[in-house]
Amino acid sequence: MQTNSTPELSPSVKPRVGRLQFIDFARGIVMAIMAWDHVSSFWNEFHHGGEGVLGQAPPFLNLTWFLERFVSHVCAPSFIFLAGTVLALSATKRVIRGESQSSVSLHLIKRGLLLLVLETLLVTPAFYWLAPQVPRLYFGVIACIGVCLVIFSVYRRVPPTVILVLSLIIVLNHSTLNLDFIPNDEAWGSYARVVIHEPSFAFWPYVGLYPIIPWLGVMGLGWCFGLLLAKMDSDKIKRLKIPLLATGVSSIALFFVVRLMNGYGNLLRRWGNTVIDWLYVSKYPPSLAFLLWTLGWMCILLALGLALQDKPKFNNGVTGIILAFGRNPLFFYIAHLWLYRLRLPNSPKPPPLPIWQTFIFWMVGLVILWQLCLRYEKLKKKYPRFLQYI
């Protein structure tokens, strides 16, 4: 082992396993659910989001429309947590292969900057194609991950125990952060607050929904999980099925405890005892209740992936489609936005679709995206250096 290796990459860490399919499985499921959220936001009249932006809770028409949005909450936390997990696994393998720490850091910086470019050129226009002014500085989930990658180019050198502790502190206490010292009546100040911790659409076009601080905590937890996996052989990883399931169930149980307390951990408090009252939590920024629910279900999906990955037909059929999504998350993300947008610039807005037609549109789109992902994988194998960052 090189003398300049990071503290977490001890000589006991060996590249014992190949690609971890249970991660692709869980990520593939949340990508498909995310596609549902976006196709519904593009085509359904009563779909909306914005849960928690500036402390607000926009009302839903009824329970059906609330739940069709609520199911998608698992997506962003799983996406960012697993990005940290894969980042740790990738960085570990690179160092073990003999790459220098500066080379690994440079790779993360390049990938992070590329994500910022993709957010500006491809992601934001897909969401705001028909807006009078496309907010080129929109700080969305891809931009957030990009900045976090740049931070991790240095942050990863911190001992893993410190990263774990800091990540837990962020997740448990970020809601107490006060940014009033930054002026909110000027563009630079408003945008700084958006990027750091306060999602807002109040100062168009300097807007955003995924601030760095809370999501850096989530990615840090994923990083620590990735370091744990890097030290295990395949047999030990398989034995994580029960711990992951127990963690997921416990996290969801704690969600109900936090909602019952109706104080700490609830950026949006429970005003009654209906299903909506109990489940309506802040996503922007992510409250503790929100993360307990979503990361709990992510753990259950990971456990399910571990239970299924040794089945003879795991790589075929529906699970094979899900794995294709999970292996190509960034490509899927960009492709699905433009596929489901399905309209030309300056064209009149089409009438909204009923929810059952949206469901069919979503399913047909997933089949198309599956084929696109398979073809993209072939292209990536043909041009690995050119497409290594996507």
Give the Cβ contact number of residue 156 at 10 Å.
Answer: 25
Domain membership of residue 15 (yes or no) is: no
Q: For residue 13, is pLDDT > 50?
A: no
Residue 372 lies in a domain: yes
**14-53: b or e for each residue (b if 16 or more CB lie within 10 Å)?**
eeeeeebbbbbbbbbbbbbbbbbbbbbebbbeebeeebbb
> Locate tokens 């897909």: which residue?
126
Q: Which tokens go with 180? A: 């009033």
pLDDT of residue 205: 87
388, part of any domain? no
In a domain, 10, yes or no: no
Q: Band of the pLDDT at 204, cuts 50, 70, 90?
A: confident
Domain range enclosing 312: 21-382
Whole-model pTM above 0.85?
Answer: yes
And the tokens for 156?
A: 């990863």
Q: How far apart are CA 297 and CA 80, in angstroms?
A: 14
Residue 280 domain flag: yes
Tokens of 342: 């399905």
CA 268 to chain centre: 21
Chain-centre distance for alpha carbon 135: 21
Whether 13 is in a domain gets the answer: no
Which tens digit of pLDDT belongs to each residue from 308-359?
A: 999 999 999 999 999 999 999 999 999 999 999 887 656 666 788 999 999 9
Q: How many structural domains are present in the chain?
A: 1
Q: Is 2's pLDDT higher than 50?
A: no
User: Residue 390 falls within a domain, yes or no?
Assistant: no
- State the average pLDDT for the chain: 92
State which H helix or E strand residue 3 sits in: none
pLDDT of residue 12: 45
- The whole-angstrom separation of Cα 218 and Cα 291 is 9
Cβ–Cβ < 8 Å for 81, 222: yes
H helix runs in 156-240, sequence order: 160-173, 187-196, 212-230, 234-238
| pLDDT tens figures, 166-179 | 999 999 999 999 99
